Structure 1
Amino acid sequence: MSETNQPALMVPEVDMILPKNGDTTNTNKQGENPTERNYPSKVTFAKMNRVVERREYGCCGREKCGGTALVVVALVVASLALLFGFIGVANKGNIYVDVKNEMTVPQTVPAAAEIPETTDRVWTFAIGDYSNRLEYVEPESGQVKGYNIDVVNAVCRIAQKSCRLDWDDYNRCWESIGDDIEKQGGGIGLLGRWYDACTGWPVTYRRARTFSFTEAHAKKHLAVFMVKSGTPEGAFNWRNITGKTIGLLRYYIEDEDCIQSLTEVVGHDLTEGRVINYLTQQDLLSAVNNGEVDAVFISEFLGVKNNLQLASDRIDGCSLQGYSMMMRKDNTLATWWNPALNALIASTEYREICNGLEDESIHGSIPGPSARAVCIGF
């Protein structure tokens, strides 16, 4: 869904295999439900289009319409037919973003605050992909699928809400470009009301100062210090990192900010040069193996950990809550989302979604975490 600038990067505990190019990390931050439900709700899909059009109306009333007006009316009718066609498909309970075959016709996307709170209100969610069973692009169809999408689909149907997923870059939800952690902040997409919420983001102190969050739909992950495989036991004392150089993955919540907040770690007042950010997991692995850093500080579920040696306890301190919907503080999404999410978690449908995380007939060979690592109550 990323922990980076992504909502949620979670990968399997043991079965993760780094791709041939060695990179399992999105440089910036998931399947259709096997059982059809009959909740009376409408769902549409689209890729976010940044162009907001001005509506053009043809003549009406007593005025006699000319040829141009007839063309405009025909276009409006055709657009409505296309829209109702989408809704008809969505009523079958499938919500997805078709990236490969997206519409090329610009869509009118009003700002969230401009949409009245009625039964016809369409709630929009930004979604990304990072080749993980939480959020990924299915190679054959070009659709974004995964656990996070299954949850949005089910919650919207239970709440009888019309919803749409918009594919967008993670930095438009939370901006964290560059090494300076103090320059992190809200992304232009969420601040600019391009959508109601961003899907699957862990809650941190820094993010909570800018945005609000729904209740978690996935567990939070803990962090670990890891060293080069074969390092003698006790050679690295994670409780005292004075003078040590630590490698981090850029955009992840296991960052300098988190390390400095750990009360169980001495020497966490990291000076310049003692923290090095890397763009990919392969870069991070190489840095450990060639001695560029003494240890790395990463999520407990990253695939790169299978090539490193654990050097600490599992540390809880980088996130306040698990993966949630991140939204503007003036958005009312949580008022209906939280009750519907709780109803989903208590249902057999949620168990089906979670079991799907480990079912190759649903997600194929896409890597990702186990149901135990992700699902609430598992």
Structure 2
Amino acid sequence: KVKKRDVIVKCMYMYFVISVSFSSTHWRMQECIKHGDVDGELKGFDLDLSNAVCRVAGKKCTYIYRICNSNSADGKFLPGKALETGEVDGCLGNVITPEREEVFDFSRAYFKTSSNFFVPPGNPRGFSPENIEGKRIVFFNATYTNMDCLKRLGLNGAVPLVESGSLSDVKTKVLEGNADALFAPRTTIPGVERVPGQYNCASGAGVMVLKGNADIPTWWNRAFQIVVESGEYKRICDSVAIKYGGYPVRCFDFQTNVIG
């Protein structure tokens, strides 16, 4: 278990950040975990999958909370101290984008990503992503839903309101008219309305490690394929809503001998 005082919350995703240790040699991996109970015990889809993969790979896995990445003043995605100092070996559940691949290496993706625009209830200003030029868009800090994401989607000309510090701050900007819309990696946010349509500018989420550290993705991918082919991946995916509730996990529909 992890003591409550050790919990660090990643500012804008509001997900707990954890690390994992593996052994054959002792590996440490970190993750954006979605669940934790009142006693501070870590749980959730990523942990269930990680434990299955580690078991198949013959690795010992342990988990702690740490910050995995940071952003520079201009929004560039940077390694966090835990990765840079070697305190952790990698991070689970991190979204794979071209910008992040310049700084990190990744395993195969193991769940899908999507993003949405949010506006005040009733969309009083008639915001439409197809007419985004000149519109003020606010982003969550340190997420992949940013200006680079919009450009990959062909949604050009937005005026970015640099990532706010909390969900409350972001919603206030939208509800008080200081932003035309929020662009976020969520399907629902209480108090604001989702604009119809979903947008995907990433290739999913997987294990993230420092650039050049190919060992973890190599053994992870081999073991993950076995987990998929055994049917355990699908069983873990299917059990998430019943076990944990909350936001659904969008798993891939992998077929036997087909991973990607």
The CA deviation string for residues 252-289 of structure 1, in whole angstroms up to 9 with x for no partner, is 211133224432x2424x3xxx4242222232222222
Structure 1 counterpart of 2:167, which letter? Q
Instruction: Tell me what 1:283 maps to.
Output: 169
Cα pair distance change 1:300/1:145, threshold 3 Å? closer
Instruction: Tell me what 1:207 maps to.
Output: 100
Instruction: Tell me what 1:26 maps to.
Output: 14
- SS of the equivalent of 2:214 reads coil
Unpaired stretches in structure 2, ≥5 consecutive residues: 1-9, 255-260
Number of aligned positions between the proteins? 244
- SS of the equivalent of 1:330 reads coil
* Cα shift at 1:324: 0.5
Instruction: Tell me what 2:7 maps to.
Output: none
Q: TM-score, normalised by structure 2?
A: 0.80
Inter-partner Cα distance in structure 1 for 2:236 and 2:16: 27
Structure 2 counterpart of 1:238, which letter? P
Instruction: Tell me what 1:326 maps to.
Output: 208
| Larger of the two Rg values belongs to structure | 1
Inter-partner Cα distance in structure 1 for 2:30 and 2:12: 21
**After the TM superposition, which residues 69-218 of structure 1 pair with which residues of structure 2 at under 5 Å, given as runs?**
120-129=24-33, 132=34, 136-140=35-39, 142-165=40-63, 167-170=64-67, 173-176=68-71, 180-182=74-76, 184-218=77-111
Cα contact 2:119–2:174 (8 A) shared by 1? yes
Cα pair distance change 1:308/1:279, threshold 3 Å? same
Structure 2 counterpart of 1:292, which letter? N
Inter-partner Cα distance in structure 1 for 2:165 and 2:51: 32
* Cα shift at 1:300: 4.0
Cα pair distance change 1:276/1:210, threshold 3 Å? closer
Among 127, 130, 140, the alignment partner of 1:236 is 127
Inter-partner Cα distance in structure 2 for 1:327 and 1:276: 26
Cα pair distance change 1:275/1:197, threshold 3 Å? same
Q: Which has the higher strand share?
A: 2
- SS of the equivalent of 1:194 reads coil
Instruction: Tell me what 2:253 maps to.
Output: 377
Q: TM-score, normalised by structure 1?
A: 0.57
Structure 1 counterpart of 2:157, which letter? G
- SS of the equivalent of 2:177 reads coil
* Cα shift at 1:25: 4.5
Among 245, 248, 267, the alignment partner of 2:157 is 267
Inter-partner Cα distance in structure 1 for 2:88 and 2:194: 40
- The ranges of structure 1 where at least 4 consecutive aligned residues each deviate by more than 4 angstroms after the TM superposition are none
* Cα shift at 1:208: 0.4
Structure 2 counterpart of 1:197, which letter? G
Unpaired stretches in structure 1, ≥5 consecutive residues: 1-8, 10-22, 30-46, 49-96, 98-108, 113-118
Cα pair distance change 1:266/1:121, threshold 3 Å? closer
The CA deviation string for residues 327-366 of structure 1, in whole angstroms up to 9 with x for no partner, is 122331122211210111222433332232111xx33xxx
- SS of the equivalent of 2:204 reads strand
Cα pair distance change 1:153/1:331, threshold 3 Å? same
* Cα shift at 1:312: 5.2
Instruction: Tell me what 2:235 maps to.
Output: 352
* Cα shift at 1:377: 1.4
* Cα shift at 1:24: 8.7
Identical pairs, percent = 25
Structure 1 counterpart of 2:101, which letter? A
* Cα shift at 1:126: 1.8
Cα RMSD (Å): 3.0
Cα pair distance change 1:342/1:288, threshold 3 Å? same
* Cα shift at 1:376: 2.2
Structure 1 counterpart of 2:118, which letter? M
The CA deviation string for residues 186-227 of structure 1, in whole angstroms up to 9 with x for no partner, is 2222232222211110111121011111111212x2222222
**After the TM superposition, which residues 285-300 of structure 1 pair with which residues of structure 2 at under 5 Å, given as runs?**
285-300=171-186
Cα contact 2:116–2:197 (8 A) shared by 1? yes
Inter-partner Cα distance in structure 2 for 1:311 and 1:277: 20
Cα pair distance change 1:247/1:337, threshold 3 Å? same
Cα contact 2:15–2:32 (8 A) shared by 1? no
Given the alignment of the two structures, is residue 310 of structure 1 paired with residue 202 of structure 2, yes or no?
no
Structure 1 counterpart of 2:62, which letter? R
**After the TM superposition, which residues 58-69 of structure 1 pair with which residues of structure 2 at under 5 Å, given as runs?**
none
Inter-partner Cα distance in structure 2 for 1:316 and 1:349: 26
Cα contact 2:29–2:88 (8 A) shared by 1? yes
Inter-partner Cα distance in structure 1 for 2:55 and 2:134: 54
